[in-house]
Amino acid sequence: MWKDIEHILDQQQGPWCVIRDFDNIVKTQDRVGDKMVTEAEYVDFNVMLDKTGLCEMDNKGRPMYVMWEKLKRLQGIMRTLSKPLQHLKKNILETRNALHKVQPDLSNDRMNDIKNHAKGMHMLQRDDGTKITTHSEISDDVLEYYGGLMGKADSNLIHIDVEAMRNGTQLSMEKRESLIGHVSEH
């Protein structure tokens, strides 16, 4: 566009005027929003003004026009800020639906911590009527009970009694083969 203006100047004889908002900066004191401007941002525009003999005229419009221009500059920022809020109602509904869908799965999940805590053993009553509540006492009591069901280790046993194994009841050949046979559904 600046080259077009320079081309018009070459063809023009006599005084002339260009009225337009070039939306450009002429000096360092001008600001874009709250940011200061560097010389590199306006040097090309100033060179064009010097070549064509044009000069800047102050814009002294009505206050409403000035405010409108400021609002136009803020429009992009406002769009960026409001973008996450555009579909807020839709996002809330989608989140509620997802929550309603997940809640039954959580209540049926065996690994759900809340459910496991409710199923946990927090107190145990012994045969003599005493209640135990600490984790270590409960685990000791459970291990003692199941250890009694399975039997105790014999500290005097040096090796397996081969004679007892030979003379004891042994499986028939048919039963041995059934242990290693294929499993069927029938």
Q: How do the domains of the chain map onto residue ranges?
A: 2-85, 122-150
The pair of three-digit structure tokens given for residue 162, joined into one six-digit string: 């081969």
Task: Report the pLDDT value the prediction gives residue 96, as an integer from 0 to 100.
Answer: 94
Lowest mean pLDDT among 73-87, 108-122, 128-142, 144-158: 108-122
Lowest mean pLDDT among 44-48, 83-87, 149-153: 149-153
The three-state secondary structure class of 125 is: strand
Give pLDDT tens digits for 88-131: 889 899 999 999 988 887 777 766 666 666 666 778 888 888 88
Task: Report the pLDDT value the prediction gives residue 98, as an integer from 0 to 100.
Answer: 92
* Report field, pTM of the whole predicted structure over 0.85: no
Rg of the chain over Cα atoms, rounded to whole angstroms, equals 45
Euclidean distance between CA atoms 132 and 126, whole angstroms: 8
